[in-house]
Structure 1
Amino acid sequence: MRIGLSTPIVVQVPGIAAPWEATGGAAELARIAEAADTLGFDHLTCSEHIGVPADAAAARGSTYWDPLATLSFLAARTTRIRLATSVLVLGYHHPLALAKRYGTLDRLSGGRVVLGVGVGSLSEEFALLGAEWDARGAVADRRLAALRAAWGRKEVDGFVIEPHATSPEPVIWVGGRTRRSLRRAVESGSGWVPFGLSATALADHLRSVTLPDGFEVVLNPGRALDPLTDPEDARRRLIRLRDAGATVVTCAVRASDAGNYCDQLAALHSVAAAL
């Protein structure tokens, strides 16, 4: 089971983000990414929201750094850690645009891009962008198929796409909480990133399919870990996720500032290494 990070600063959800993140910037972000890279963490994440309705910001938060710009910056400050979108909303993007933009990032980073994708859940944002809400699941399926067909290929439908990704086999994590999202992940992706599911529902979903070899089940502990203060709690929660079927865990840690965050990462790495 590999351990990645829900990157701080770049997404700030009320009640989850620490106060220091509000003033954190490129220097703090780079420091944390470099520490995670050196320690051997699996991935960093960045989510996507173009805009959040003002009346929803209190619950969802309003700070969402652009994933392409953010992960490109992090690619330049790291050497091996994977760079995961968590998640891109397929209905917002033309598949060739994704293949070109993130394929370029994949080339720049030496093949480290993980395309986390999803159907989307914010109707107001769909309306803002002129995207189709009612048929978003069908749209997502079509665009995911087209993205897979275009990824890592120089010529697509008579057009040259250069540069392109380092491999024609993308790493795609499909986000969602429904059995349909899991089936979509098994049929068209290489991993599943569920959210908001109980342990019972998660187990029921996973029993409903046969997972391909190498398929990644990406879970999270639900709340920030504090391995410096309570390493035993962190260990128990990681073991619980492993027993639930996780092959990858995306963690957040409690911290008072960027330096303390890096100390927490070192402690978390020690806990995970001992499992």
Structure 2
Amino acid sequence: VSGGRLILGLGVGTLQEEFDLLDVPFTDRGARADDSLAALRAALSERVPSYRGMYFEFSDMVVEPNAVQPRVPLWIGGRTPRSLRRACELADGWVPFGLSFDDVQAMLGRRQLQSGFEVVLPAAGLDPIGDPDRTRRRLDRAVSAGATIIGAGVTAESVDHYCEQLEALTELYGEAFGNAGE
């Protein structure tokens, strides 16, 4: 469906009520999540996958359609050192939430990240037309915190204004990283 552009975002979950509804123990959710990631890794890109782990086991089944990519990128959401550990050890990226840039930078500073590991940070409320300096500072701060991808949100009063803001953000972003016009 995505033509090989699939990225799967995942999280462990923090509300016991969600686990109760599924009749799944809350206390072992971390280990269960780790096994789930390994099972997904085994199954997503294989037509006839097999896996045997602590919680999950399967073989002799067909997955159709299966992912086009030989390795579907898995991004882990979270706000704890455990979520970052899980992302570094079992996935391809981390999408932290509810943390300051300083907190993210400190957490990332305690880990050795593999080449190609993605860190997705938000930068909302940007106004590249009305306040380009603040916008640039916010983007620079996200990058210095460790962002490899920025989820930029611009303010806009109409569809046309939104498009103008995106165009200005594109020009500003290229300018901020020394490749204006690309």
- Which interval holds the TM-score relative to the shorter structure? 0.7 to 0.9
Corresponding residue number in structure 2 for 1:110: 3
Asked if structure 1 preserves the Cα contact closer than 8 Å seen for 2:101 and 2:142, the reply is no
1:163 partner letter: P
1:257 partner letter: S
Q: Helix, strand or coil: the match of 1:160?
A: coil
TM-score (norm: length of structure 2): 0.83
Corresponding residue number in structure 2 for 1:212: 114
Corresponding residue number in structure 1 for 2:130: 229
2 CA distance for matches of 1:250 and 1:110? 22
1:153 partner letter: E
TM-score (norm: length of structure 1): 0.57
Unaligned segments of structure 1, at least 5 residues: 1-107
Could you list the per-position Cα deviations for residues 176-217 of structure 1 after superposition, in whole angstroms to 9, with x for gaps in the alignment? 111111111111111111112233322221122110011111
Deviation, 1:129, is 4.3
Q: Which has the larger radius of gyration?
A: 2
2 CA distance for matches of 1:267 and 1:247? 20
Corresponding residue number in structure 1 for 2:35: 142
Aligned residues: 167
Deviation, 1:258, is 3.3
2 CA distance for matches of 1:268 and 1:175? 26
Deviation, 1:224, is 1.6
2 CA distance for matches of 1:200 and 1:230? 23
1 CA distance for matches of 2:158 and 2:13? 32
1:174 partner letter: I
Unaligned segments of structure 2, at least 5 residues: 50-58, 177-182
1 CA distance for matches of 2:161 and 2:149? 24
2:36 partner letter: R
Q: Helix, strand or coil: the match of 1:173?
A: strand
1:248 partner letter: I
2 CA distance for matches of 1:260 and 1:128? 44
1 CA distance for matches of 2:19 and 2:172? 41
Tell which has more relative contact order, 1 or 2 (C-alpha 8 A, sep 6+).
1
* Alpha-carbon RMSD: 1.7
Higher normalized helix content (fraction of residues)? 1
